[in-house]
Structure 1
């Protein structure tokens, strides 16, 4: 394995290759980024866990973009979490901007649903959309919301839409100060973290390519790497003092693993006061007047929860005295 890079361990996505197998992958540990996104919303724990997984998954996928463009992940179902959206924008030079939000039933009881993916999202679809920007066409792939986790939905997407055998492991949770213990009594104590590993079988020899309709006919190297990756524990994926390179060595040291320069992941919302004002100005004056509360119209960004306040005169200049 190559020496560790000059990155902080958090909010970085590292590509890697298992040396003696046709397996490529990515690993990420989201610390400040995950904590900022999830704290901005104060969702129920189960909803926060689900959004954290989406952010982590999108960091793994979005860092593969080699051009300036965007990638978005969406689930839409008939469960209490009716909508889950995460998107990222790549600068094409080693940095991705991530954001996300969840649309959910605020009256539902989420007790004990932290890992109950199917009960949270219900039936619906999982979609990935790539937008290269400019005049290039967007590409969208959609699969049914089938599987016991968001990871399984993504694995199914890659197998059916891209014909690439893929295995993904995600973990989300709060990490507390040692003196407070791992499970502190305060509901809002601790910092959110997310971690994930993704590997894909990308054989260089055509005779090793397996038909997607025959998933049991796996190559031995791929089967072994998939089993080894799944041994990564939630604690290992979330531990801030365990470097990603060290975890990869624990998993694949028998074959050898090579780590490549990574991409920095940062929180980045594209909302602005000017953009929201432009949207509000499309409404008739009468409807804007009905939205007034204490002399202001307030709008919140779904992604970052930033609140913007406007007077009616700011939106309809001709009404200014």
Structure 2
């Protein structure tokens, strides 16, 4: 693709590479997908902001990994924002869009409208989980909540767990609908020598400057200084296209772009999965879950889907073949 190509950029991730700096990256734009994620719930503003940032991070990180199935982010804390969870499902077929979903669990009584959204997480951890599907062992990497934002947590994760200098510039907002945009830059893996001992980040965690040296550090510093000049409107769009943004930021870095990839809101919940999750329970257990109306109910936290099941047809003591009467 030529860097001036005109395409529809909403709900897309554009991969690029800075050949002169040995750095790769992504530019992401979310609008309809983010609207659907947040439209499933009536979150307070602080929780909306955290979910928007986590969803944008997930779209950027998911596109960086050779993913056959699912990447998840989990942010858990002891503050009012107890959990932010996202899932990114890689495209099943060539040319198909990736799917993304997200939700939050929070204590409304503890939310402080005057406190920054990130501070309402408190102490906890930031985790990335990668599941490549049946026949593989899931991978999980964890780093403490640190740095003042979810993007800073993600940067710490890549420095600490992957030894990859990584930087995010993100923005999100709501006018007629939700929009979010961001840039991710990351040193190519071969440019990241293994760091020993403690780092210069919060609590002695590794940071990008602890990993890059010599020419790599000069390149990394230069690209970060260029990224520092970006503003929120350029990130969110829609007036500034990602290709134009890359030209403005990195025209001297040998920027090369690849095919943009689509992202859509998508949930993997189903009645079969609800039944499977209930298959470990006895008829006595199922009876305690049965409502006064005589049904077992389940609600998907991600998309709001509501399921009502006949209690006789669920659990390992269900009536009939395959749990059917």
TM-score, normalised with respect to structure 2:
0.83
For residue 246 of structure 2, give the secondary structure of its aligned residue in structure 1. Answer: helix
Alignment match, 1:58: 58
Aligned positions of 1:136-175 closer than 5 A: 136-175=136-175
Alignment match, 1:109: 111
Aligned positions of 1:98-247 closer than 5 A: 98-113=100-115, 115-117=116-118, 119-175=119-175, 190-202=176-188, 211=195, 213=199, 215=209, 219-247=217-245
1:84-119 per-residue CA deviation (whole Å, 9 max, x = no partner) reads: 111111136353211111111122234134x431x2
RMSD: 2.7
For residue 63 of structure 1, give the secondary structure of its aligned residue in structure 2. Answer: helix
Aligned positions of 1:25-44 closer than 5 A: 25-44=25-44
Change (3 A) 1:136 1:289: closer
1:171-208 per-residue CA deviation (whole Å, 9 max, x = no partner) reads: 12102xxxxxxxxxxxxxx211111111012286x6x8
Alignment match, 1:183: none
Alignment match, 1:303: 302
Alignment match, 2:69: 69
TM-score, normalised with respect to structure 1:
0.84
2:246 aligns with one of 245, 248, 266: 248
For residue 164 of structure 2, give the secondary structure of its aligned residue in structure 1. Answer: coil
CA contact (8 A) 2:164 2:189 kept: no
Change (3 A) 1:108 1:267: same
Distance, in Å, in 1 between the alignment partners of 2:294 and 2:194 is: 64
1:249-275 per-residue CA deviation (whole Å, 9 max, x = no partner) reads: 221123342211122111111101222
1:62-87 per-residue CA deviation (whole Å, 9 max, x = no partner) reads: 11233412111111111111111111
CA contact (8 A) 2:80 2:111 kept: no
Change (3 A) 1:230 1:313: same
Distance, in Å, in 2 between the alignment partners of 1:197 and 1:38 is: 21
Q: Which moved more, 1:33-42 or 1:298-307?
A: 298-307
2:99 aligns with one of 93, 97, 100: 97
Structure 2, unpaired ranges of 5+ = 201-208
- Quote how far apart the aligned CAs of 1:304 are: 1.0
Distance, in Å, in 1 between the alignment partners of 2:294 and 2:137 is: 44
1:237-258 per-residue CA deviation (whole Å, 9 max, x = no partner) reads: 2222321111222211233422
CA contact (8 A) 2:296 2:308 kept: yes
Change (3 A) 1:166 1:299: same
Alignment match, 2:206: none
